């Protein structure tokens, strides 16, 4: 689900770069919010599956801290770019990067799932009754 959410966010941001009216922007922003929620819920599930419950507080705090620090740092870094590049171009690049990140994220999840699978039990299979 997080892969679809990330791809959906990328598509919505890319579509925002092409939108021409406030109505289109509002609809795309609502869609973006739905995809963002789906992505965050999925990441929360992955977090609970992969982290030992004894470390939920520490790892959860770290995840929250990094996500909260990310937006202001990116805005600070992109402010000079936004003055020189049309905002539609910034949205198009951000949407395209998110769309490209979705298959990479899918590959990482697939690889992690394969690594987490239990190894086959050695020895002969039990006889069928």
Would the pTM count as exceeding 0.85? no
- Going by C-alpha positions, the residue among 31, 35, 27 that lies closest to residue 3 is 35
* Rama region for 123: left / alpha / beta (φ>0; ψ in -120 to 50; rest): left
At 125, is the pLDDT very low, low, confident or very high (cuts 50, 70, 90)?
low
Q: Would you kindly state where each structural domain of the chain is located, as residue ranges?
A: 2-115
In this structure, of 8-17, 37-46, 82-91, 109-118, the range with the lowest mean pLDDT score is 109-118
At 113, is the pLDDT very low, low, confident or very high (cuts 50, 70, 90)?
confident
pLDDT confidence of residue 94: 92
């Amino acid at each position: 689900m997080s892969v679809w959410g990330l791809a959906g966010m990328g598509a919505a941001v890319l579509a925002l770069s092409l939108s021409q009216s406030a109505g289109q922007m509002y609809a795309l922003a609502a869609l973006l919010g739905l995809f963002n929620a789906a992505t965050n819920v999925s990441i929360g599930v992955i977090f609970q599956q992969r982290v030992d419950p004894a470390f939920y507080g520490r790892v959860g705090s770290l995840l929250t801290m990094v996500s909260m620090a990310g937006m202001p740092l990116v805005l600070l870094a992109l402010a000079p770019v936004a003055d020189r590049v049309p905002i539609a171009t910034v949205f198009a690049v951000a949407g395209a990067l998110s769309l490209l990140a979705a298959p990479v994220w899918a590959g990482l999840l697939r690889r992690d799932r394969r690594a987490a699978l239990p190894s086959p039990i050695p020895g002969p299979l039990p006889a069928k009754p």
